[in-house]
A and B are shown apart, each in its own frame.
Chain A
Amino acid sequence: MGRLKLFLPLALVVILGVLFYSVVTRIGSGEYQPEALPSALVNHLFPSFTLPQLEDSQQQITEQSLQGEIAIVNVWATWCPSCHAEHGYLNSLAQAGVIKIVGINYKDTSGAAQHWLQEKGNPYVFNIFDQYGQLGLDLGVTGAPETFLIDHRGFVRLRYQGPLNEKIWQQKFRPVVEQLRAEQQSS
């Protein structure tokens, strides 16, 4: 029994090693975010706004355009490297027709943003041009990318800080989306 006690430090190191490894990989995939803030907007109506459309600056968009259909609102910008990384996934989501995707071009330049979309593909039904970040501030955005899930009545139901990928979609978004579709059916 005394012999076994000698192996205690080794056992401790192994356990801690496994623990740290699992935490690091979970942070890497975005599942665990110790710095994520719970959104103050959850279960509140999407804030009201009037902003031009990125694709056509003559067109004004308001929160009314976000009512009637379950959608994700993705906050992105050309200066944001993580947005670059998640763009491919958003394209695949849009192509598969999984959900309507609306974009908020956050504190960006219109020319650069439109060029970016032409080059990399456009998964967005339309983009709101939030040049000064006022809508972002009303949404409690802390940076890009962020994605909000809204239901058919225009209420925010989920907010994710960070780039979207398949794992995050399956783990965090899909269960809620299914719930929202059920709600929409029964209403």
Chain B
Amino acid sequence: MKQFLLAVVITAHALLAQAVIETYQFDDDVKRERYQQFIQDLRCPKCQNQNLSGSNSPIAEDLRRELHRLLQEGKSDTEITQYMVARYGEFVLYRPPLNRDTVWLWFAPPVLLLIGAVVILMLLRRKNRTQVTAQLSAEQQQRLSQLLEEDDRLSARDKGDNK
């Protein structure tokens, strides 16, 4: 019985994880697909790291309702995009357009990745070089063998002690 209850609770919890709760009716399948595409490509102005599809804030609900209305009215993709941008600015486009302002947004991550890779390569190469030159000079080697001899003598003497 306990296991059954646990299963029920877990399932109920999983149902809460739905992204969009409303179901809108559309005249035709093309409009429905455009709707699905739009709610992925538009950002929720309030929960700014989510698109309209994944956000349940009131403003996202309003924008989805508006999107449905615009599609049913027969507006084109460009008109709908312009409608949203005119009210919420370019930021509302989840996939930002490539222009002079957003060129850093698009190219900074791969450029930084490249710089990181170059830095790692350079560090590795330098590490290999220092390992090769980490050898003892002749003088240091002599001193090392002297110290080792002395150490052997001392430990041999200690071993001979009958304590």
Contact = CB atoms under 8 A, between A and B. Distances in A.
Interface size class of A (residues with CB under 8 A): 10 to 19
Contact of B86 (A38, A40, A133, A136): A40
Interface in A31-46: 35, 37-41
A35 B66 CA distance: 24
Contacts of A41: 87
Given A37-B88, A40-B86, A140 B45 contact: yes
A95 to B, nearest CB: 32
Interface size class of B (residues with CB under 8 A): 10 to 19
Contact of B66 (A37, A137, A143): A137
A107 interface: yes
B45 A37 contact: yes
A142 B66 contact: no
B85 interface: yes
A82 to B, nearest CB: 14
B37 interface: no
B87 A138 contact: yes
Contacts of B45: 37, 140, 142
A35 B62 CA distance: 20
Interface in A135-155: 136-143
A140 B58 contact: no
Given A137-B66, A142-B45, A142-B46, A40 B59 contact: no
A133 B88 contact: no
Contact of A40 (B46, B62, B88): B88
Contacts of B87: 40-41, 137-140
B88 A140 contact: yes
B90 to A, nearest CB: 8
A140 B89 contact: yes
B84 to A, nearest CB: 9
Interface of A: 35, 37-41, 107, 133, 136-143
Going nearest first, the 3 A-B pairs with the smallest beta carbon separation are: A40-B89, A142-B45, A140-B87
24 contacts: A35-B48, A37-B45, A37-B48, A37-B88, A37-B89, A37-B91, A38-B89, A39-B89, A40-B85, A40-B86, A40-B87, A40-B88, A40-B89, A41-B87, A107-B58, A136-B62, A137-B62, A137-B63, A139-B87, A140-B87, A140-B88, A141-B59, A142-B46, A143-B46
